[in-house]
Amino acid sequence: MTPPGGLYEYELDGVLVQDRSRFGIAAKVRNLRASKGLQTVGDGFDYAMDWMCPRLPDGVCNEPSTVKAPDIRAIKENTTLLFGSRLAPSDVAERRLEICIRCPAHTRRGVCVDCTGLIDWVRKGMPGRGTLPADQASGACLCDNVLSAAGASAASRPLTAGAEYPEGCWRTKEDGHDKD
């Protein structure tokens, strides 16, 4: 099974390698371990899974996980509430989306917008939005529980009641209103 987000990952001494294929990540794991003077037993894939599994929601690995998977139905439902909103200029939406992607409350795990067609769904629901370079790296905002591409594209909207926005979030800087 491909992990949520479509990427296999492995980290060693602060160096993260990623790949979309099992064979690709195994090669990157072997190379990374060799660069650190470590031997690799087998093809390297088990090291990637040992690193990833504690960080993935239930159903991806053999062992139960404590990581909660995002509720994609709720995310889609909340995102549809943004459909029909006035759109922010594309440069503003792009800047917002780039902030979202770096945010600790942003996730692609279980929310792969390109492989599931969700980004196309957002474009259809928000006519005139167009394609933004950061779209393919976007996922969901766990504060607002919406697809980040749609949330960043809405010109203005109130902050979500009860949400705890991380430091640096564009939503708190703009106070939910278009001040750009």
Average pLDDT (163-176) is 84
pLDDT for 113 equals 82
Q: What value does the mean pLDDT of the chain take?
A: 87
Residues 36, 76 share a domain: no
Residue 102: burial class (beta carbons within 10 Å; 0-12, 13-18, 19+): exposed
Q: State residue 178's pLDDT score.
A: 39
The answer to whether residue 64 sits within a structural domain is no
Task: Place 140 in a pLDDT band, splitting at 50, 70 and 90.
Answer: very high
Domain contains 116 = yes
Domain span at residue 136 reads 72-173
pLDDT reported for residue 179 = 39
Residues 159, 80 share a domain:
yes
| Mean pLDDT, rounded, for 156-165 | 92
Specify whether 169 is located in the same domain as 128: yes
CB 67 within 8 A of CB 59: no
pLDDT above 60: residue 176:
no
State residue 137's pLDDT score. Answer: 85
Total domains in the fold of the chain = 2
Regarding whether 93 and 36 lie in a shared domain, the answer is: no
Start-end of H helices in 83-147: 90-102, 118-125
| 46 and 94 co-located in one domain | no
Write out pLDDT tens, residues 38-74: 999 999 999 999 888 887 776 677 777 766 667 889 9
Q: Do 87 and 51 fall within a single domain?
A: no
Strand partners, 106: 141
Task: From residue 39, give the alpha-carbon distance in Å to each of 23, 53, 107, 154, 176.
Answer: 18, 21, 32, 50, 51
Q: Is residue 62 part of a domain?
A: no
In angstroms, how far is CA 125 from the centroid of its own chain? Answer: 20
Q: How do beta strands 106-107 and 140-141 pair?
A: antiparallel
47 and 89: one domain? no
d(CA 52, CA 9): 6
Q: Are residues 104 and 157 in the same domain?
A: yes
Note whether residue 162 is domain-resident.
yes
Query: 34 with 102, same domain?
Result: no
Residues 50 and 112 grouped into a single domain: no
